[in-house]
Amino acid sequence: MKKINLLFWFLVVTVGYSQAFFFISKNERYDHAKDGDNCRNLLNCSDPEALLFKLNNENFIVQKKDGFYKFYVDKDEKIIISSTKLAPKEATECTTILDSLKSIDPNYLTITKDENGRELIVNDGREYEINFFKKEYALTLKSNNPEIYIEKKYPHYQERAKFLKGVTALNKLFFDSIYNNVNKLDTLYLEFKKNKKLNNLELNKENHNGVNYYSLFFSGTKKITLTNFESYRDLIIDRRSLEKNKSRIISVDFINKYRYSYITRLFKDKVIYIIEKKHLRRVNYVFP
């Protein structure tokens, strides 16, 4: 009886230890490059139990005891643009997505040969990358042009499909309904109000290899670069017209909320009205 009890105790301890051994997943590795520490320093995250998640080297999610937080970060200047706690519904969705991603074997995402050892011919395409960090451990999931592997049903394409589905779902968490609605519009009104922090709008025009670049500068915010706009002009627009286009008006605060690359992408191929907030509002510039 004692032998049976001892064996049972040994199994419980062994199984419990093996489950606790993995901080992220069984595919984790020791973070020799200290990338996790760099991310924690960037996000000012001092919680030793926090799980950090990096998507395509652009966006971050941090899971703490009290919930999930998403971060928009300027990597070049190493500053946090903004951070937001996920709503309960988003947090539940995020948990499901991350659990699915952590179950993927990274090796299945980089297979380039078929069952017979023949090289799979796939042109270079967009590369997707996801990084997890916890304590001194990391998990990296990376796949180049997974859409082709899925379409042709190459070996382990199901894992690539799971990976791509997770990446797509996580990307959606970083764009709220306002951003998605603005993205669908063909005309935008960018409204600003002069104050100590936000003074005159400045416009610089440059030409590189036949392409016109207009850079809009606001004091206290980043410049916005618009390309291939052939002209700009001044005009006056009344309040009644703006009331009709209320859903098309965005503020400088909206710009500051998102990464520079997202805003530049958002403004592409749109008519942009840059206006100063007044009863009768002067449109400083209209593109194109």
Instruction: Give the other-Cβ count within 10 Å of 277's Cβ.
Output: 13
Q: How many CA atoms lie within 13 A of 67 on its CB side?
A: 13
CA pair distance 207, 171, nearest whole angstrom: 33
**Residue 59 — very low, low, confident or very high, per pLDDT cuts 50/70/90?**
confident
Question: Is the pLDDT assigned to residue 22 strictly greater than 80?
Answer: no
Whether 159 has a pLDDT exceeding 80, the answer reads: yes
HSE toward the beta carbon, residue 223, CA cutoff 13 A: 12
Residues 23 and 30 sit within 8 Å (Cβ to Cβ): no
pLDDT at 243 over 80: no
Condensed to tens digits (0 to 9), the pLDDT of residues 114-150 reads: 777 788 777 777 888 999 999 999 999 999 888 888 8
Residues composing the chain = 288
Q: What is the pLDDT of residue 186?
A: 86
Region of poorest pLDDT, from 19-23, 77-81, 142-146, 178-182: 19-23
The single-letter code of the amino acid at 82 is S
- Helix, strand, or coil here: 164? helix
Return mean pLDDT, the chain.
76
3-class SS of residue 215: strand
pTM: 0.66
Task: Answer whether residue 279 shows pLDDT above 50.
Answer: no
113-123 per-residue burial string, b: 16 or more CB within 10 A, e: under 16 = eeeeeeeeeee
